[in-house]
Chain A
Amino acid sequence: MKSTLTASDVLADIEFELMQGAISRDAFGRSLQEVRQHQSKVRQELFGSGQQELDLREALSRQFQINDMLLTLLQEMSGGFSDMQQQIEWVGQARGGTDQSTAARLARAMAAPSQTAELRPTQPLNETSRPDYLHQQMDMQPNGRPIPILNGLVRRLRTGLHSLVIFYVNKLGKQQTAVNQLHADWLQHLNALVRHQQEEIQQLTAKIAQLEAVKE
């Protein structure tokens, strides 16, 4: 990295960071998680095994609290959109919408209808991370053109050497498969998480649209 890094690499990173700053969903995701955790805790407190009798007032008060949190999330989302819109307007005014700056491109990107990121299909991942995948791909028999007279001897020698190679490849392969499996599990987990978040964002977007419709 040291020898090949150039100004254009750094510039690309700056532009990437600028884009990230505009669309940050980390805090949103964390907050959803917090609400979930809080809800589980409340559920446990209200309906857990130690509880003899459900205090209706308490239960309702906790429910209101969770509603407040969700409303805050919605409010923040709506505020974020509004901020972004304002920024876009400002950039538009400042630059006349004609140049190719990051801001202008960002503004155009943001003005376009939002699209859900395409998730990659998980099937290839499942296939390649199976323990027998390596064996399926491996040629278990030595090959090569037959040699007259000496073919039998050469073939036996080749088979012996090949077995030795396969022994070590197997050993390495088992370790590598375990690593692959771990990676695959994580990727699938992340994939599911992203899919789930997208669904939630869609639901919340629909909710906002509903609210805006009410407002109008």
Chain B
Amino acid sequence: MNTAKPPTISIIVNTTDRAKPLANLLHALEHQSYPHFELIVVVGPTKDETLDVLAPYGQRVQVLRCDQANLSQSRNIGLLAARGDIVAYIDDDAVPSYRWLEQLARLFGDALLAGTGGMVYLVHPANSVVQHRLGTVSSLAEQTDTRNSWLEQLVPPGHGKQWAGRMMGTNMAYRRRDLLEVGGFDQFFEWLYDDTDIAMRLVNAGKIIHPVKEAVVYHVPASSRNRQARSFNARWWVQTKSVIYFALKYGPEAGESRREIALRCLHYVHGHLLWAQQLRQLGHLTTRQLWKMRREEIKSAVIGVYHGLMTPRQTLSKSDLSMTNANATEIRPFPTPASAQQPTVDPVSGRRPSITLPDEPLRLCLLSAAYPPDQYEGVGRLTNLMAQGLFEIGHTVHVITRGPQDTVSFYDGAYVHKIPSPDRYGRYRMFPKLYHSLNHSHAVHEKVKRLILNDGIQLVDSPLWQYDGLVTAVSGEIPVVVRLVTALRQIAAMQDDVDADARLVGEMEQTLLEKATYLLPNTQATMDTAQKVYGIQPDPNRYRLVPYGIVPVSDEAVRPFTPHNPPPTFTVLYLGRLEKRKGIQDLFAAIPQVLAKVANVQFIIAGADNSHRDGFQQQTGLTYAAYFQQQYAQFASHVSFLGQVSEEKLNQLYQTCDLFVAPSLYESFGLIYLEAMNYGKPVIGCRAGGIPEVIDEGLTGLLAEPEAPDSLAEAILNMLQNPSRLREMGLAGRQRLLDTFTHVQMARRFADAYRHVIYKNY
């Protein structure tokens, strides 16, 4: 059975005036895991540079022309020229998942299957949704686009007597022989319902149509002559004539009464007229557009009735069919040996890193429960930086994060999959930290499985924090590497918060470390701490140090200190959550000592107050800011508390400060120091955790002893009393960042480690 020749596939793309998205699709098709396919592009009456986009591909792409702006006609032209056993249609403004064709070929291994197609995700900046999944259509043209399972709505939800599975035009594939047998697409459908009609016609011819959840396509809607993307401005009346025609053709065949068919048509037209009225009231349509829509609606209804009743279907004629390559089997494959080395492409902007890769790019999945732009916090920010860096060096990155529903967007170089967390571990509800993290980890695993099947991900990278990758690591289905960051067991111990919930979470973190394929600590200190806190003894061949990095700002944004023109007041910036672990109390105690010797200092403290969580409020009854103002009232005018600040404000604070201070009792790495160095600022941290590996003491900043306010005050004074050092250390920090700690350098280190894990196959 395995010796059978793999089926050949003809991908058919129908395009008009969409050169840019088409270019994205062509790049994306270089990355198909299934090589036995040809590419046919049928170009409509285009006015843009579509042909220029196609020209560099030469003989690799078969370019055909369709004079009419008629999608069904264009689809038929492609079909007649196709040579593959299977014809797969994809829109010009979509990109397929890596294993799209492989999945389709697998499904067509069932000799009885005539048509199939997978899920379509709408990749939209404001409205990402599952656009199509397991669709159905009735003999009265009622459509269901998204369902969770075939078994959902098994009893038809509408009035139609006959229901059939259907695929969306942007992701549908048919056995070429079967499609030709039923005469191809009905050219009455110039746009919309062409996909629905062909599915119903094949079903009525006794063929099997079976849409699936796999073989995913990402749809990035672009404007066309039929619609203006991301607006209500479209030729919706085309739908009306299609629906009426459809109901009149299929209704009688399925045993629908004339009354049912007439009611369905009238309801549809009435609904459209009401909808247009609502759009006008909401200001989405002008009065002129409203009247045009009404006029076209009625006209389309009449056309639909006439053709539905009076004319035969406009499928391929016998003479058309005689011109096909019906018996041809040899295809001219689209992929070349160089295809595998092509870097990934941003399906939205079309940007591709301009680099030449020596090896095939990797397909990676990064996990982070919180992720920008919805949430900016430590692990999410780091994951975002990794994604950006990995994209820049050509790899395909998928990020899985929390969200209210299953959606996909493309952000900063990565496909961001948001997933909800269904309640699976309800029995642990009394341990909220454990309960939420386990539910999410399981939901992550379900998604990982889909990404393995569709996008061919090779590795999962999970942070230790919230152990997102635990269930996947337990399943053993794919290598899981763990980014060692400060985790809950450690924080709980620091904050004396070791209840049963925290204990269990700590045990889960430990389990993840034990089950992980490979560990990636950011510093040696992190690794040593993990060994101490979790009692693990990792094999030296099972871990590698990967220091982090950030995106360097432009040189114009760098603001080093100017000793020849010093400010009237020094600004010292503290950034981070206000909590015990971050050393905020030590800074409070150091401030009076500093002000006693250098009076012209202003301290800016930015970050969320975490006093209700770290036990400070329970002890004192005050927030940190209130505590300072009460205990150090005479110094209150020298300290500003800003609370949590926006990304924009944050950058402004870095630019305007003269010295950056973060006296954390522990940081596994401390990206915040790099962020300050990015703007040419000297930094002060503590001799704890991975901080000494980031701050080059005496060169880019100074180190104080942890939990020692005197030492901290001394370091601050040392800097402020020698203003020339502020400049020297700031510039040295910026240089060190550019040399060692950019996000691209970090990504290269991660990619090397990933490649080691993937190809060494632990």
Contacts and interface: CB of A to CB of B under 8 A. Distances in A.
A61 B475 contact: no
Contact of B255 (A37, A58, A102, A103): A58
30 contacts: A2-B500, A3-B500, A7-B507, A10-B504, A14-B442, A14-B471, A17-B424, A17-B425, A18-B445, A18-B471, A18-B474, A27-B149, A35-B155, A61-B161, A62-B161, A64-B162, A69-B155, A72-B154, A73-B154, A75-B208, A87-B449, A87-B453, A90-B453, A91-B477, A96-B761, A101-B475, A103-B475, A103-B476, A103-B477, A104-B476
A129 B241 CA distance: 67
Given A7-B508, A21-B446, A65 B162 contact: yes
Contact of B150 (A13, A35, A75): A75
A102 B475 contact: yes
A28 to B, nearest CB: 7
Contact of A5 (B110, B470, B504): B504
Given A65-B163, A68-B163, A102-B476, 12 more contacts: A2-B430, A7-B507, A14-B442, A21-B446, A27-B149, A37-B155, A65-B161, A65-B162, A76-B149, A82-B106, A103-B476, A103-B477
A138 interface: no
Contacts of B154: 31, 34-35, 69, 72-73
A interface majority secondary structure: helix
Interface in A121-140: none
Contacts of B112: 215
A91 B453 CA distance: 11
Interface residues of A, number: 51
Contacts of A102: 474-476
Contact of A86 (B106, B151, B210, B471): B106
B264 to A, nearest CB: 16
A38 B151 CA distance: 14
A58 B442 CA distance: 47
A52 interface: no
Contact of A57 (B255, B427, B511): B255
Contacts of B214: 83
A58 B301 CA distance: 28
A11 B500 CA distance: 16
B6 to A, nearest CB: 15
Contacts of A73: 151, 154
Contacts of A82: 106-107, 110
B254 interface: yes
Interface string A59-79: 011101100110011011001
Nearest to B161: A61
Nearest to B156: A65
A99 interface: yes
Given A68-B163, A86-B453, A99-B476, A76 B150 contact: yes
Given A21-B446, A60-B255, A61-B254, A10 B474 contact: no
Nearest to B214: A83
A30 interface: yes
A116 interface: no
B212 interface: yes
B380 to A, nearest CB: 24
B86 interface: no
Contacts of B338: none
Nearest to A71: B208
Contacts of A21: 446
Closest 4 CB pairs of A and B: A101-B476, A7-B507, A61-B255, A31-B151
Contact of A28 (B151, B431, B470, B474): B151
B576 to A, nearest CB: 31
Contacts of A5: 431, 500, 504
A100 to B, nearest CB: 9
B111 interface: yes
Contacts of A101: 474-477
Contacts of A90: 452-453, 477
Contacts of A60: 255
A111 interface: no
B150 A72 contact: yes
B471 A6 contact: no
Contact of B504 (A7, A58, A76): A7
Contacts of B428: 10
Interface of A: 1-3, 5-7, 10-11, 13-15, 17-18, 21, 27-28, 30-31, 34-35, 37-38, 57-58, 60-62, 64-65, 68-69, 72-73, 75-76, 79, 82-83, 86-87, 90-91, 94-96, 99, 101-104, 215
B111 A215 contact: yes
Contacts of B464: none
B478 A94 contact: yes
Interface in B149-168: 149-152, 154-156, 161-164
A46 B151 CA distance: 25
Nearest to A216: B111
A65 B162 CA distance: 6
A18 B151 contact: no
B747 interface: no
B151 A10 contact: no
A3 B417 CA distance: 37
A215 B110 CA distance: 8
Nearest to A89: B106
B540 to A, nearest CB: 21
A86 B154 CA distance: 25
Interface string B453-468: 1000000000000000
Contacts of A86: 106, 453
B510 interface: yes
B510 A11 contact: no
B662 interface: no
Nearest to B149: A27
A81 B154 CA distance: 19
Given A10-B504, A18-B475, A69-B155, A79 B438 contact: no
Given A18-B471, A86-B453, A94 B210 contact: no
B133 to A, nearest CB: 13
A73 B150 CA distance: 8
B449 A34 contact: no
A107 B163 CA distance: 36
Interface string B387-429: 0000000000000000000000000000000000000110110
A21 B446 CA distance: 9
Contacts of B716: none
Contacts of B477: 87, 90-91, 94-95, 101, 103
B71 interface: no
B255 A79 contact: no
Given A10-B434, A27-B149, A91-B477, A75 B511 contact: no
A7 B151 contact: no
B470 A14 contact: yes
Contact of A15 (B424, B474, B500, B510): B474
